[in-house]
Protein backbone atom coordinates (compact mmCIF):
# COMPACT_ATOMS: atom_id res chain seq x y z
CA UNK A 1 0.00 0.00 0.00
CA UNK A 2 1.35 3.39 -0.83
CA UNK A 3 0.36 6.37 1.29
CA UNK A 4 -2.68 6.30 3.54
CA UNK A 5 -3.74 9.62 5.01
CA UNK A 6 -4.01 9.75 8.78
CA UNK A 7 -7.81 9.87 8.71
CA UNK A 8 -7.92 6.61 6.72
CA UNK A 9 -5.46 4.74 8.89
CA UNK A 10 -7.36 4.85 12.18
CA UNK A 11 -7.81 1.11 12.51
CA UNK A 12 -4.14 0.35 12.08
CA UNK A 13 -2.50 2.81 14.45
CA UNK A 14 -2.74 3.93 18.07
CA UNK A 15 -5.24 2.32 20.41
CA UNK A 16 -7.93 0.07 18.97
CA UNK A 17 -11.05 -1.30 20.60
CA UNK A 18 -10.54 -5.05 20.86
CA UNK A 19 -13.59 -7.00 19.74
CA UNK A 20 -15.05 -10.09 21.46
CA UNK A 21 -13.42 -13.41 20.50
CA UNK A 22 -14.67 -14.27 16.99
CA UNK A 23 -14.99 -18.08 17.01
CA UNK A 24 -15.98 -18.44 13.32
CA UNK A 25 -13.02 -16.26 12.27
CA UNK A 26 -10.60 -18.32 14.37
CA UNK A 27 -11.95 -21.64 12.99
CA UNK A 28 -11.58 -20.43 9.38
CA UNK A 29 -8.14 -19.05 10.11
CA UNK A 30 -7.06 -22.40 11.60
CA UNK A 31 -8.36 -24.22 8.51
CA UNK A 32 -6.33 -21.88 6.30
CA UNK A 33 -3.19 -22.28 8.44
CA UNK A 34 -3.42 -26.09 8.50
CA UNK A 35 -3.96 -26.22 4.72
CA UNK A 36 -0.99 -23.94 4.01
CA UNK A 37 1.25 -25.79 6.48
CA UNK A 38 0.39 -28.98 4.56
CA UNK A 39 1.42 -27.25 1.34
CA UNK A 40 4.65 -26.10 3.03
CA UNK A 41 5.45 -29.69 4.04
CA UNK A 42 4.84 -30.87 0.47
CA UNK A 43 6.92 -28.01 -0.97
CA UNK A 44 9.81 -28.77 1.41
CA UNK A 45 10.10 -32.20 -0.22
CA UNK A 46 10.41 -30.58 -3.67
CA UNK A 47 13.15 -28.10 -2.69
CA UNK A 48 16.47 -29.69 -3.62
CA UNK A 49 18.47 -26.77 -5.09
CA UNK A 50 18.88 -23.01 -4.61
CA UNK A 51 16.83 -22.52 -7.78
CA UNK A 52 13.99 -24.55 -6.23
CA UNK A 53 14.11 -22.49 -3.04
CA UNK A 54 14.27 -19.03 -4.66
CA UNK A 55 12.22 -19.49 -7.83
CA UNK A 56 10.43 -22.86 -7.51
CA UNK A 57 12.84 -24.14 -10.18
CA UNK A 58 11.38 -21.71 -12.72
CA UNK A 59 8.50 -24.11 -13.21
CA UNK A 60 5.43 -22.04 -12.25
CA UNK A 61 3.02 -21.44 -15.16
CA UNK A 62 2.17 -17.90 -16.23
CA UNK A 63 -1.43 -18.20 -15.01
CA UNK A 64 -0.49 -19.51 -11.54
CA UNK A 65 2.32 -16.98 -11.26
CA UNK A 66 -0.01 -14.14 -12.26
CA UNK A 67 -2.51 -15.10 -9.54
CA UNK A 68 0.38 -15.36 -7.05
CA UNK A 69 1.65 -11.89 -8.06
CA UNK A 70 -1.84 -10.52 -7.44
CA UNK A 71 -1.80 -12.23 -4.05
CA UNK A 72 1.63 -10.74 -3.33
CA UNK A 73 0.59 -7.22 -4.38
CA UNK A 74 -2.81 -6.86 -2.70
CA UNK A 75 -2.10 -6.48 1.00
CA UNK A 76 -4.73 -6.38 3.73
CA UNK A 77 -3.90 -2.73 4.34
CA UNK A 78 -4.61 -2.09 0.65
CA UNK A 79 -7.92 -3.94 0.66
CA UNK A 80 -9.21 -2.38 3.88
CA UNK A 81 -7.55 1.00 3.31
CA UNK A 82 -8.81 1.53 -0.23
CA UNK A 83 -12.38 0.53 0.59
CA UNK A 84 -12.22 2.95 3.53
CA UNK A 85 -11.03 5.74 1.22
CA UNK A 86 -13.99 5.22 -1.09
CA UNK A 87 -16.24 5.06 1.99
CA UNK A 88 -14.76 8.29 3.40
CA UNK A 89 -14.02 10.57 0.42
CA UNK A 90 -15.79 8.94 -2.52
CA UNK A 91 -14.41 10.21 -5.82
CA UNK A 92 -10.81 10.71 -4.67
CA UNK A 93 -10.85 7.24 -3.14
CA UNK A 94 -11.91 5.77 -6.50
CA UNK A 95 -9.10 7.63 -8.30
CA UNK A 96 -6.60 6.50 -5.67
CA UNK A 97 -7.74 2.91 -6.19
CA UNK A 98 -7.15 3.21 -9.94
CA UNK A 99 -3.67 4.65 -9.26
CA UNK A 100 -2.47 1.25 -8.06
CA UNK A 101 -3.06 -0.19 -11.53
CA UNK A 102 -1.09 2.34 -13.57
CA UNK A 103 2.30 0.76 -12.96
CA UNK A 104 1.38 -2.57 -14.55
CA UNK A 105 1.59 -1.50 -18.23
CA UNK A 106 5.19 -0.39 -17.56
CA UNK A 107 5.98 -3.81 -16.10
CA UNK A 108 4.25 -5.54 -19.04
CA UNK A 109 5.80 -3.58 -21.91
CA UNK A 110 9.19 -2.59 -20.51
CA UNK A 111 10.31 -4.94 -17.78
CA UNK A 112 8.77 -8.44 -17.50
CA UNK A 113 10.24 -10.08 -20.61
CA UNK A 114 13.72 -8.55 -20.31
CA UNK A 115 13.85 -9.27 -16.59
CA UNK A 116 13.07 -12.95 -17.14
CA UNK A 117 15.64 -13.29 -19.93
CA UNK A 118 18.45 -11.59 -18.01
CA UNK A 119 17.99 -12.63 -14.40
CA UNK A 120 18.43 -15.69 -12.29
CA UNK A 121 16.99 -15.12 -8.81
CA UNK A 122 16.79 -11.36 -8.07
CA UNK A 123 16.47 -8.02 -9.86
CA UNK A 124 20.09 -7.35 -8.80
CA UNK A 125 21.09 -10.00 -11.37
CA UNK A 126 19.68 -7.70 -14.06
CA UNK A 127 20.92 -4.42 -12.57
CA UNK A 128 24.48 -5.80 -12.36
CA UNK A 129 24.43 -7.89 -15.56
CA UNK A 130 27.17 -6.03 -17.49
CA UNK A 131 28.70 -4.08 -14.60
CA UNK A 132 31.21 -4.72 -11.85
CA UNK A 133 29.29 -7.17 -9.68
CA UNK A 134 30.32 -6.14 -6.17
CA UNK A 135 29.36 -2.41 -6.00
CA UNK A 136 26.16 -2.73 -8.05
CA UNK A 137 24.95 -5.77 -6.12
CA UNK A 138 25.65 -3.98 -2.83
CA UNK A 139 23.47 -1.08 -4.01
CA UNK A 140 20.70 -3.35 -5.36
CA UNK A 141 20.67 -5.45 -2.17
CA UNK A 142 20.56 -2.25 -0.08
CA UNK A 143 17.57 -0.95 -2.03
CA UNK A 144 15.84 -4.32 -1.68
CA UNK A 145 16.48 -4.58 2.05
CA UNK A 146 15.27 -1.02 2.76
CA UNK A 147 12.02 -1.70 0.88
CA UNK A 148 11.57 -5.14 2.48
CA UNK A 149 12.33 -3.93 6.02
CA UNK A 150 9.94 -0.97 5.79
CA UNK A 151 7.20 -3.02 4.15
CA UNK A 152 7.57 -5.75 6.78
CA UNK A 153 7.20 -3.22 9.61
CA UNK A 154 4.04 -1.82 8.01
CA UNK A 155 2.59 -5.30 7.44
CA UNK A 156 3.44 -6.60 10.92
CA UNK A 157 1.95 -3.56 12.70
CA UNK A 158 -1.08 -3.81 10.40
CA UNK A 159 -1.32 -7.54 11.19
CA UNK A 160 -1.23 -6.94 14.92
CA UNK A 161 -3.89 -4.23 14.80
CA UNK A 162 -6.20 -6.15 12.48
CA UNK A 163 -6.02 -9.42 14.38
CA UNK A 164 -6.40 -7.64 17.72
CA UNK A 165 -9.53 -6.05 16.30
CA UNK A 166 -10.95 -8.97 14.32
CA UNK A 167 -10.08 -12.02 16.39
CA UNK A 168 -10.01 -10.55 19.88
CA UNK A 169 -6.38 -11.65 20.40
CA UNK A 170 -3.80 -9.47 22.15
CA UNK A 171 -1.56 -7.45 19.81
CA UNK A 172 1.69 -9.12 20.85
CA UNK A 173 0.27 -12.62 20.22
CA UNK A 174 -1.02 -11.57 16.80
CA UNK A 175 2.43 -10.31 15.78
CA UNK A 176 4.10 -13.48 17.13
CA UNK A 177 1.68 -15.74 15.22
CA UNK A 178 2.25 -13.91 11.90
CA UNK A 179 6.02 -13.82 12.39
CA UNK A 180 6.34 -17.51 13.27
CA UNK A 181 4.05 -18.70 10.45
CA UNK A 182 5.91 -16.49 7.96
CA UNK A 183 9.22 -18.03 9.09
CA UNK A 184 7.87 -21.59 8.72
CA UNK A 185 6.43 -20.98 5.23
CA UNK A 186 9.63 -19.49 3.83
CA UNK A 187 12.18 -21.53 5.79
CA UNK A 188 10.78 -24.91 4.79
CA UNK A 189 8.66 -24.25 1.71
CA UNK A 190 10.64 -21.57 -0.12
CA UNK A 191 9.14 -19.98 -3.23
CA UNK A 192 6.93 -22.99 -4.04
CA UNK A 193 5.06 -22.84 -0.72
CA UNK A 194 4.98 -19.02 -0.82
CA UNK A 195 3.49 -19.16 -4.34
CA UNK A 196 0.67 -21.48 -3.27
CA UNK A 197 -0.07 -19.44 -0.14
CA UNK A 198 -0.35 -16.37 -2.38
CA UNK A 199 -2.56 -18.18 -4.94
CA UNK A 200 -4.96 -19.43 -2.24
CA UNK A 201 -5.09 -15.98 -0.64
CA UNK A 202 -5.79 -14.27 -4.00
CA UNK A 203 -8.63 -16.68 -4.80
CA UNK A 204 -10.12 -16.22 -1.31
CA UNK A 205 -9.87 -12.43 -1.61
CA UNK A 206 -11.47 -12.40 -5.08
CA UNK A 207 -14.26 -14.71 -3.86
CA UNK A 208 -14.97 -12.62 -0.77
CA UNK A 209 -14.90 -9.32 -2.68
CA UNK A 210 -17.23 -10.78 -5.35
CA UNK A 211 -19.79 -11.90 -2.77
CA UNK A 212 -19.69 -8.54 -0.98
CA UNK A 213 -20.08 -6.60 -4.25
CA UNK A 214 -22.92 -8.91 -5.34
CA UNK A 215 -24.77 -8.33 -2.06
CA UNK A 216 -24.24 -4.56 -2.39
CA UNK A 217 -25.62 -4.54 -5.93
CA UNK A 218 -28.59 -6.75 -4.96
CA UNK A 219 -29.36 -4.24 -2.20
CA UNK A 220 -29.79 -1.49 -4.84
CA UNK A 221 -31.55 -3.64 -7.45
CA UNK A 222 -28.33 -4.10 -9.49
CA UNK A 223 -28.48 -0.44 -10.50
CA UNK A 224 -25.17 1.48 -10.56
CA UNK A 225 -27.18 4.68 -10.86
CA UNK A 226 -29.12 3.93 -7.67
CA UNK A 227 -25.91 2.94 -5.82
CA UNK A 228 -24.20 6.24 -6.66
CA UNK A 229 -27.30 8.35 -5.95
CA UNK A 230 -27.92 6.60 -2.62
CA UNK A 231 -24.27 7.07 -1.57
CA UNK A 232 -24.40 10.77 -2.46
CA UNK A 233 -27.68 11.24 -0.57
CA UNK A 234 -26.43 9.50 2.59
CA UNK A 235 -22.88 10.92 2.71
CA UNK A 236 -22.00 14.27 4.25
CA UNK A 237 -24.71 16.70 3.12
CA UNK A 238 -22.28 19.64 3.03
CA UNK A 239 -19.92 18.30 0.38
CA UNK A 240 -20.52 16.21 -2.71
CA UNK A 241 -18.91 12.78 -2.41
CA UNK A 242 -18.40 12.66 -6.18
CA UNK A 243 -16.37 15.89 -6.25
CA UNK A 244 -12.55 15.76 -6.39
CA UNK A 245 -10.02 17.48 -4.12
CA UNK A 246 -10.62 15.95 -0.69
CA UNK A 247 -7.62 13.63 -0.68
CA UNK A 248 -4.90 15.44 -2.62
CA UNK A 249 -5.64 19.00 -3.70
CA UNK A 250 -2.09 20.17 -4.37
CA UNK A 251 -0.83 19.65 -7.96
CA UNK A 252 2.75 18.92 -6.85
CA UNK A 253 1.57 16.34 -4.30
CA UNK A 254 -0.69 14.79 -6.96
CA UNK A 255 2.08 14.48 -9.56
CA UNK A 256 4.57 13.20 -7.00
CA UNK A 257 2.12 10.62 -5.65
CA UNK A 258 1.34 9.49 -9.21
CA UNK A 259 5.03 9.09 -10.06
CA UNK A 260 5.62 7.08 -6.89
CA UNK A 261 2.77 4.69 -7.63
CA UNK A 262 3.53 4.49 -11.36
CA UNK A 263 7.23 3.67 -11.08
CA UNK A 264 7.31 2.33 -7.53
CA UNK A 265 5.29 -0.72 -8.55
CA UNK A 266 7.94 -1.50 -11.18
CA UNK A 267 10.67 -1.29 -8.54
CA UNK A 268 9.22 -3.51 -5.80
CA UNK A 269 11.77 -6.35 -5.41
CA UNK A 270 9.30 -8.95 -4.11
CA UNK A 271 7.06 -8.37 -7.17
CA UNK A 272 10.00 -8.38 -9.64
CA UNK A 273 11.34 -11.60 -8.10
CA UNK A 274 8.23 -13.47 -9.18
CA UNK A 275 9.18 -13.14 -12.86
CA UNK A 276 12.04 -15.60 -12.32
CA UNK A 277 9.62 -18.35 -11.25
CA UNK A 278 8.28 -18.92 -14.80
CA UNK A 279 9.94 -21.02 -17.54
CA UNK A 280 10.36 -18.28 -20.17
CA UNK A 281 9.65 -14.67 -21.21
CA UNK A 282 6.30 -15.57 -22.79
CA UNK A 283 5.06 -16.89 -19.45
CA UNK A 284 6.44 -13.76 -17.74
CA UNK A 285 4.26 -11.57 -19.99
CA UNK A 286 1.29 -13.83 -19.32
CA UNK A 287 1.95 -13.46 -15.58
CA UNK A 288 1.60 -9.68 -15.83
CA UNK A 289 -1.63 -9.89 -17.82
CA UNK A 290 -3.19 -12.35 -15.34
CA UNK A 291 -1.95 -10.34 -12.34
CA UNK A 292 -3.22 -7.03 -13.73
CA UNK A 293 -6.58 -8.63 -14.56
CA UNK A 294 -7.02 -10.06 -11.04
CA UNK A 295 -5.92 -6.81 -9.36
CA UNK A 296 -8.17 -4.69 -11.62
CA UNK A 297 -11.12 -6.95 -10.85
CA UNK A 298 -10.62 -6.77 -7.08
CA UNK A 299 -10.11 -2.99 -7.16
CA UNK A 300 -13.35 -2.53 -9.12
CA UNK A 301 -15.07 -4.64 -6.47
CA UNK A 302 -13.46 -2.40 -3.80
CA UNK A 303 -15.12 0.67 -5.34
CA UNK A 304 -18.51 -1.07 -5.11
CA UNK A 305 -17.74 -2.23 -1.56
CA UNK A 306 -16.76 1.30 -0.46
CA UNK A 307 -19.92 2.86 -1.93
CA UNK A 308 -22.01 -0.03 -0.63
CA UNK A 309 -20.62 0.51 2.87
CA UNK A 310 -21.92 4.11 2.78
CA UNK A 311 -25.40 2.91 1.82
CA UNK A 312 -25.77 -0.26 3.91
CA UNK A 313 -23.91 0.70 7.10
CA UNK A 314 -26.03 3.84 7.37
CA UNK A 315 -28.95 1.47 8.06
CA UNK A 316 -27.06 -0.13 10.99
CA UNK A 317 -26.30 2.43 13.72
CA UNK A 318 -24.83 -0.34 15.91
CA UNK A 319 -21.66 -0.25 13.74
CA UNK A 320 -21.05 3.36 14.79
CA UNK A 321 -19.92 5.02 17.99
CA UNK A 322 -20.08 8.63 19.16
CA UNK A 323 -16.76 10.49 19.09
CA UNK A 324 -16.28 13.83 20.84
CA UNK A 325 -13.49 16.08 19.53
CA UNK A 326 -13.01 19.74 20.52
CA UNK A 327 -16.43 19.71 22.14
CA UNK A 328 -18.15 18.51 18.95
CA UNK A 329 -19.70 15.04 18.85
CA UNK A 330 -19.90 13.00 15.65
CA UNK A 331 -20.51 9.43 14.51
CA UNK A 332 -17.54 7.24 13.57
CA UNK A 333 -17.17 3.57 12.66
CA UNK A 334 -16.24 1.29 15.55
CA UNK A 335 -12.56 0.45 15.09
CA UNK A 336 -11.91 3.29 12.63
CA UNK A 337 -12.59 3.98 8.97
CA UNK A 338 -10.54 0.97 7.83
CA UNK A 339 -13.20 -1.31 9.28
CA UNK A 340 -15.78 -0.28 6.64
CA UNK A 341 -15.32 -3.49 4.61
CA UNK A 342 -15.25 -5.63 7.78
CA UNK A 343 -18.49 -4.19 9.14
CA UNK A 344 -20.07 -4.49 5.67
CA UNK A 345 -19.14 -8.19 5.56
CA UNK A 346 -21.05 -8.71 8.80
CA UNK A 347 -24.02 -6.68 7.54
CA UNK A 348 -24.38 -8.72 4.34
CA UNK A 349 -23.25 -12.17 5.52
CA UNK A 350 -23.52 -12.38 9.29
CA UNK A 351 -20.92 -13.84 11.67
CA UNK A 352 -19.92 -16.64 9.27
CA UNK A 353 -18.99 -14.30 6.43
CA UNK A 354 -17.35 -11.89 8.87
CA UNK A 355 -15.22 -14.84 9.96
CA UNK A 356 -14.37 -15.60 6.34
CA UNK A 357 -13.31 -12.01 5.56
CA UNK A 358 -11.33 -11.85 8.82
CA UNK A 359 -9.50 -15.04 7.88
CA UNK A 360 -8.88 -13.62 4.37
CA UNK A 361 -7.38 -10.49 5.96
CA UNK A 362 -4.98 -12.66 7.98
CA UNK A 363 -4.20 -14.84 4.94
CA UNK A 364 -3.48 -11.68 2.97
CA UNK A 365 -0.91 -10.51 5.50
CA UNK A 366 0.78 -13.94 5.64
CA UNK A 367 1.04 -14.09 1.84
CA UNK A 368 2.60 -10.63 1.58
CA UNK A 369 5.10 -11.03 4.42
CA UNK A 370 6.19 -14.44 3.08
CA UNK A 371 6.98 -12.89 -0.31
CA UNK A 372 8.82 -9.99 1.33
CA UNK A 373 10.88 -12.29 3.56
CA UNK A 374 11.92 -14.47 0.62
CA UNK A 375 12.93 -11.36 -1.33
CA UNK A 376 15.03 -10.08 1.58
CA UNK A 377 16.63 -13.49 2.12
CA UNK A 378 17.62 -13.76 -1.55
CA UNK A 379 19.17 -10.26 -1.44
CA UNK A 380 21.40 -11.22 1.49
CA UNK A 381 22.31 -14.78 0.50
CA UNK A 382 22.46 -14.52 -3.31
CA UNK A 383 23.47 -10.89 -3.89
CA UNK A 384 25.64 -10.17 -0.84
CA UNK A 385 26.94 -13.50 0.45
CA UNK A 386 27.31 -15.61 -2.70
CA UNK A 387 28.14 -12.85 -5.22
CA UNK A 388 29.99 -10.23 -3.12
CA UNK A 389 31.53 -11.97 -0.10
CA UNK A 390 32.25 -15.31 -1.78
CA UNK A 391 32.85 -13.76 -5.24
CA UNK A 392 30.56 -16.26 -6.95
CA UNK A 393 32.43 -19.24 -5.46
CA UNK A 394 29.81 -20.20 -2.85
CA UNK A 395 28.51 -23.76 -3.03
CA UNK A 396 24.70 -24.09 -3.36
CA UNK A 397 24.40 -25.54 0.14
CA UNK A 398 26.35 -22.57 1.56
CA UNK A 399 24.01 -20.12 -0.18
CA UNK A 400 20.95 -22.00 1.07
CA UNK A 401 22.32 -21.95 4.64
CA UNK A 402 22.90 -18.18 4.42
CA UNK A 403 19.38 -17.74 3.06
CA UNK A 404 17.74 -19.69 5.87
CA UNK A 405 19.73 -17.84 8.53
CA UNK A 406 18.52 -14.58 6.93
CA UNK A 407 14.90 -15.80 6.97
CA UNK A 408 15.13 -16.45 10.72
CA UNK A 409 16.83 -13.08 11.32
CA UNK A 410 14.25 -11.17 9.24
CA UNK A 411 11.38 -12.95 10.95
CA UNK A 412 12.70 -12.14 14.43
CA UNK A 413 13.46 -8.55 13.39
CA UNK A 414 9.96 -8.08 11.99
CA UNK A 415 8.40 -9.43 15.20
CA UNK A 416 10.49 -7.09 17.38
CA UNK A 417 9.91 -4.01 15.19
CA UNK A 418 6.23 -4.87 14.90
CA UNK A 419 5.97 -4.75 18.70
CA UNK A 420 8.16 -1.62 19.02
CA UNK A 421 6.23 0.37 16.40
CA UNK A 422 2.78 -0.72 17.66
CA UNK A 423 1.46 2.82 18.06
CA UNK A 424 3.18 4.49 15.10
CA UNK A 425 1.36 5.95 12.11
CA UNK A 426 1.74 3.57 9.17
CA UNK A 427 1.22 6.19 6.48
CA UNK A 428 4.82 7.38 6.33
CA UNK A 429 6.24 3.83 6.40
CA UNK A 430 4.01 2.66 3.54
CA UNK A 431 4.61 5.76 1.41
CA UNK A 432 8.35 5.37 1.95
CA UNK A 433 8.24 1.89 0.37
CA UNK A 434 6.92 3.14 -2.98
CA UNK A 435 9.07 6.29 -2.87
CA UNK A 436 12.26 4.24 -2.33
CA UNK A 437 11.33 1.73 -5.04
CA UNK A 438 10.55 4.53 -7.53
CA UNK A 439 13.60 6.61 -6.60
CA UNK A 440 16.33 3.98 -6.39
CA UNK A 441 15.40 0.56 -7.76
CA UNK A 442 13.39 1.46 -10.87
CA UNK A 443 15.71 4.14 -12.40
CA UNK A 444 18.82 1.94 -12.21
CA UNK A 445 16.95 -1.13 -13.49
CA UNK A 446 15.54 0.93 -16.38
CA UNK A 447 18.86 2.56 -17.31
CA UNK A 448 20.74 -0.74 -17.03
CA UNK A 449 18.39 -2.36 -19.55
CA UNK A 450 17.90 0.54 -21.99
CA UNK A 451 20.90 2.91 -21.90
CA UNK A 452 24.23 1.84 -23.30
CA UNK A 453 26.00 4.74 -21.55
CA UNK A 454 25.31 3.64 -17.98
CA UNK A 455 28.46 2.58 -16.11
CA UNK A 456 29.14 0.90 -12.80
CA UNK A 457 30.03 4.27 -11.26
CA UNK A 458 26.84 5.88 -12.59
CA UNK A 459 24.62 3.07 -11.30
CA UNK A 460 26.12 3.10 -7.81
CA UNK A 461 26.28 6.90 -7.36
CA UNK A 462 22.84 7.53 -8.87
CA UNK A 463 21.19 4.62 -7.05
CA UNK A 464 22.56 5.38 -3.59
CA UNK A 465 21.84 9.12 -4.04
CA UNK A 466 18.19 8.44 -4.97
CA UNK A 467 17.83 6.05 -2.03
CA UNK A 468 19.29 8.57 0.43
CA UNK A 469 17.34 11.57 -0.90
CA UNK A 470 14.00 9.69 -0.83
CA UNK A 471 14.52 8.61 2.78
CA UNK A 472 15.81 12.05 3.86
CA UNK A 473 12.95 14.01 2.26
CA UNK A 474 10.30 11.81 3.84
CA UNK A 475 11.95 12.22 7.26
CA UNK A 476 11.98 16.01 6.75
CA UNK A 477 8.41 16.03 5.39
CA UNK A 478 5.13 16.44 7.28
CA UNK A 479 4.51 12.69 7.78
CA UNK A 480 7.60 12.24 9.98
CA UNK A 481 8.92 15.70 10.95
CA UNK A 482 5.51 16.93 12.18
CA UNK A 483 3.34 13.83 12.82
CA UNK A 484 6.03 11.64 14.41
CA UNK A 485 8.74 14.01 15.68
CA UNK A 486 6.18 16.67 16.71
CA UNK A 487 7.89 19.72 15.17
CA UNK A 488 5.60 22.66 14.43
CA UNK A 489 6.27 22.77 10.68
CA UNK A 490 8.01 20.41 8.24
CA UNK A 491 11.53 21.11 6.97
CA UNK A 492 10.34 19.80 3.56
CA UNK A 493 6.74 20.73 2.66
CA UNK A 494 5.55 17.65 0.71
CA UNK A 495 4.55 14.17 1.88
CA UNK A 496 5.06 12.58 -1.56
CA UNK A 497 8.71 12.84 -2.60
CA UNK A 498 9.10 10.87 -5.85
CA UNK A 499 8.91 14.04 -7.99
CA UNK A 500 12.05 15.30 -6.25
CA UNK A 501 14.05 12.14 -5.55
CA UNK A 502 13.58 10.31 -8.88
CA UNK A 503 15.28 13.05 -10.97
CA UNK A 504 18.25 12.96 -8.56
CA UNK A 505 18.87 9.30 -9.44
CA UNK A 506 18.58 9.82 -13.21
CA UNK A 507 20.65 13.03 -13.29
CA UNK A 508 23.49 11.80 -11.07
CA UNK A 509 23.60 8.40 -12.84
CA UNK A 510 23.86 10.26 -16.18
CA UNK A 511 26.56 12.72 -15.00
CA UNK A 512 28.62 10.03 -13.25
CA UNK A 513 28.41 7.81 -16.35
CA UNK A 514 29.26 10.33 -19.09
CA UNK A 515 32.28 11.59 -17.10
CA UNK A 516 33.55 8.05 -16.54
CA UNK A 517 36.34 7.07 -18.94
CA UNK A 518 37.84 4.29 -16.85
CA UNK A 519 38.65 0.86 -18.35
CA UNK A 520 35.71 -0.54 -16.35
CA UNK A 521 33.38 1.98 -18.00
CA UNK A 522 34.55 0.85 -21.46
CA UNK A 523 33.70 -2.74 -20.55
CA UNK A 524 30.30 -1.65 -19.20
CA UNK A 525 29.36 0.06 -22.47
CA UNK A 526 30.78 -2.73 -24.60
CA UNK A 527 28.64 -5.31 -22.83
CA UNK A 528 25.39 -3.54 -23.72
CA UNK A 529 24.88 -5.16 -27.15
CA UNK A 530 25.17 -8.73 -25.81
CA UNK A 531 22.84 -7.86 -22.93
CA UNK A 532 20.32 -6.22 -25.28
CA UNK A 533 20.19 -9.23 -27.60
CA UNK A 534 19.72 -11.66 -24.70
CA UNK A 535 17.06 -9.45 -23.10
CA UNK A 536 14.97 -9.60 -26.30
CA UNK A 537 15.65 -13.13 -27.48
CA UNK A 538 16.33 -15.07 -24.29
CA UNK A 539 19.34 -16.74 -25.92
CA UNK A 540 21.39 -18.17 -23.08
CA UNK A 541 18.61 -17.73 -20.51
CA UNK A 542 17.17 -20.59 -18.51
CA UNK A 543 15.69 -21.26 -15.12
CA UNK A 544 19.11 -21.73 -13.60
CA UNK A 545 21.38 -19.96 -16.05
CA UNK A 546 24.55 -18.22 -15.03
CA UNK A 547 25.86 -15.13 -16.73
Most confident of 2-11, 72-81, 164-173, 177-186: 177-186
- Mean pLDDT across the chain: 84
Cβ atoms of 98 and 319 closer than 8 Å: no
Nearest residue to 321 (alpha-carbon basis) of 20, 83, 84, 17: 17
* Residues sharing a CB contact under 8 Å with residue 196, sequence separation 6 or more, in sequence order: 36, 39, 43, 68
131's CB contacts (< 8 A; 6+ apart) are 448, 455, 456, 459, 524
Tell me how far apart the alpha carbons of residues 176 and 172 are, in angstroms, rounded to a whole number: 6
Query: Per DSSP, what are the bridge partners of residue 330?
Result: 323
Taking residues 76-86, report their average pLDDT.
Answer: 81
Instruction: Give yes or no for residue 519 having a pLDDT over 50.
Output: yes
249 or 139: which leads in pLDDT = 139
Q: Out of 77-86, 161-170, 406-415, which region has the weakest mean confidence (pLDDT)?
A: 161-170
Give the domain ranges of the chain.
21-423
pLDDT for the residue numbered 10 = 41
- Answer whether residue 385 shows pLDDT above 70: yes
Percentage above 90 pLDDT, the chain: 33
pTM (predicted TM-score): 0.86
**Residue 309, Cα to own-chain centre: how many angstroms?**
25
CA-to-CA distance for 13 and 425, rounded, in angstroms?
5
- Residue 208 pLDDT > 80: yes
How does DSSP classify residue 496? -
**Does 348 have pLDDT greater than 50?**
yes
For residue 85, the model assigns a pLDDT of: 86
Handedness of CA 344, 350, 356, 359 (dihedral sign): positive
pLDDT above 70 as % of the chain: 92
Tell me: the pLDDT tens digits for 454-466? 999 999 999 999 9
Higher pLDDT, 479 or 299: 299
**Nearest-5° Cα angle at 110, 69 to 530:** 115
pLDDT attached to residue 4: 35
pLDDT tens for 159-198 read 777 777 777 778 888 889 888 988 888 888 888 888 888 8
Could you give the CA distance from residue 288 to residue 305 in angstroms, rounded to a whole number?
25
pLDDT recorded at residue 3: 38
pLDDT band at 7 (very low <50, low <70, confident <90, very high): very low
CATH architecture assignment, domain 21-423: Up-down Bundle (1.20)
Amino acid sequence: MAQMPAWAAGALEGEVKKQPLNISAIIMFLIFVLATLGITYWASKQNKTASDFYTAGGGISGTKNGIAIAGDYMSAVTFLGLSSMVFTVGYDGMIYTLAFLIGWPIILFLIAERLRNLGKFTFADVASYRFSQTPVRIFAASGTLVVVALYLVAQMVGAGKLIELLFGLDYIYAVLIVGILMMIYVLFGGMLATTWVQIIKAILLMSGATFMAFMVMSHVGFSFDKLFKSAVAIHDKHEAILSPGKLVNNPIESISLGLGLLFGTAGLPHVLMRFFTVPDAKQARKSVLVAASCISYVYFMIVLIGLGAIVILAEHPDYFTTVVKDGVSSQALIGGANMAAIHLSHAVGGNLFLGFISAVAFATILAVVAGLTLSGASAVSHDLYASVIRKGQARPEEEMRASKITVVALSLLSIVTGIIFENQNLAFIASLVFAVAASANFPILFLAMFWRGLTTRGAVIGGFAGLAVAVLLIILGPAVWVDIMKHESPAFPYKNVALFSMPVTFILAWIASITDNSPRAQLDRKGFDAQYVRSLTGIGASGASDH
